[in-house]
Amino acid sequence: MGEARTSPPKVVVVILNWNGLPDTLQCLESVVRIDYPNFATVVVDNGSRVDPRPEIETRFPQVPCIRLPRNLGYAGGNNVGIRYALDLGADYVFILNNDTIVEPNVLRAAVAVAESDPRIAAVGVKILAWEDPTRIWVAYGHVTYRQGLVRLVGYYWPDDFRFTRVRDVDWVPGTAMLLRRQALLDIGLFDDEYFAYHEDVDWCTSARKAGYRIVFAPEGRIFHKGHGSSGGRRFVSLRQYLAGRNMVLFVRKHGTPWQKAKFVCFQLATLPLQYLRRSLTGEQEGVVLKVRGMLDAMRDRPIPLVELGLRERNGE
C-alpha cells in the first residue's frame, strides 16, 4: 500500500498570456489571494508582441513566466505549462484563463471534489459573467453532434438553483479546469492540432472514453470577461473559423458513423439558414469563416495563422 498523504495535494495554476498583460496582472492579483495551502503558479507567455516578464517579475516575483518565441495556440501554450507543472510534482493542474478573477476558495473547493473519487479526471468550477455576476458565463456542456457540435449549458443564464449541485457532465470549459495528474499521464495533454477551441471538449471526451469522470463543482467560483483575444462576443471573429475547423477534427476523431452522419446532415440543413439570418445584421462573414474552417479541416490544410492575426509574419 502507498504511504498516506500528509499534506494537501499540490496544485499548479497555469495562466496563458497572449497580448493581454493587463488582464493577466489582474488575474494574478486574485490568484495570490487563493487560500489553498499547497499551490504554485506559472504564467506562460504565448509569443506576445511585448515581453511581459519584466512587469510580472516586478509585481509577482514568486510567479515564474515562461516566454515562448511564437503563439502555439491555447492547446500548445497550455501544454507547455502543464509539462512544467508535472515536472514540478503537481498532483493537479489548474488551467485558468488570464481574463478571469478567482475567489479565494476556488482551489479548495475544486480539489475537495476531485479527491472524492480517483476516477475524476477534471473538475470545472462555476464561471460567472464579469459584467453581470448574477449570470453564468458557461457552466458545462453536452456534445450533441448538431449545428454547433456542442450545447453550452448556462450561457448567460441566471445563477439559480440549476447550478447548485455537483454533477457529472460531458465536458467542462478550459476557462478554468482542474486536471488530475494521473489522467494527464493516461490520456495525454491537449491535442495541439486544435490550436484553440474545442480542445477542452476533446480532452474531456477522451477522458470519459478511458473510464474517467468529468465533474461540474459549483462551490468554487470565478469571474470571466470572455473571449478577449478572439473578438469578444462579436459573431464575425477568428473564433468562427477555429470553431468550424475544430468541429470537423473532433467529429473525425470521436464520432461513430451515426454521429458523423448526424453532424453532416445538421450542417447541410442549417448553414444556409445561418447565412440568411446573419445577413439581416450584416454578420454573414462569420458563417463564411466557419465554412472555410470546416473545409480547411476536411482538406487537411493548415490554419492561416498570419492571415487570422494569430501569429506575426516573422513568427515562423
Asked if residue 235 has pLDDT above 60, the reply is no
Q: Is 128 left (phi over 0), alpha (psi -120 to 50) or beta?
A: beta
Q: How far apart are CA 28 and CA 34, in angstroms?
A: 10
Q: How far apart are CA 90 and CA 181, in angstroms?
A: 7
Shared domain check, 173 and 42: yes
Q: Is the dihedral of CA 85, 88, 92, 98 positive or negative?
A: negative
Confidence at residue 304, expressed as pLDDT on a 0 to 100 scale: 93
Shared domain check, 199 and 246: no
Q: Which of 228, 229, 242, 222 is nearest to 305 (CA)?
A: 242
Phi, psi of 44 (to 5 degrees): -110, 120
Asked if residue 1 has pLDDT above 50, the reply is no
Q: Give the least confident one: 66-80, 107-121, 216-230.
A: 216-230
Name the band, by pLDDT with cuts 50, 70 and 90, for residue 233: low
* % of the chain exceeding 70 in pLDDT: 94
Q: How far apart are CA 27 and CA 23, in angstroms?
A: 6
Confidence at residue 312, expressed as pLDDT on a 0 to 100 scale: 77
Number of Cβ within 10 Å of residue 276's Cβ equals 11
Confidence at residue 136, expressed as pLDDT on a 0 to 100 scale: 97
Shared domain check, 226 and 245: no
Reading the block at residue 164, the C-alpha cell is 447548485
Predicted structure pTM score = 0.94
Shared domain check, 90 and 206: yes
Shared domain check, 102 and 63: yes
pLDDT tens for each residue of 73-109: 999 999 999 999 999 999 999 999 999 999 999 999 9
Shared domain check, 243 and 149: no
Name the band, by pLDDT with cuts 50, 70 and 90, for residue 229: very low
Residue 249: burial class (beta carbons within 10 Å; 0-12, 13-18, 19+): buried
Q: Where are the alpha helices (DSSP H) in 73-197?
A: 73-87, 106-114, 181-187
Shared domain check, 220 and 114: yes
Confidence at residue 234, expressed as pLDDT on a 0 to 100 scale: 56
Q: Is residue 166 part of a domain?
A: yes
Q: How far apart are CA 140 and CA 150, in angstroms?
A: 10
Shared domain check, 226 and 248: no
> Residue written as cell 457532465?
169
pLDDT tens for each residue of 45-62: 999 999 999 999 999 999
Among 193, 210, 230, the domain boundary falls at 230
Q: How far apart are CA 271 and CA 277, in angstroms?
A: 10
pLDDT tens for each residue of 239-273: 999 999 999 999 999 999 999 999 999 999 999 99
Confidence at residue 226, expressed as pLDDT on a 0 to 100 scale: 79
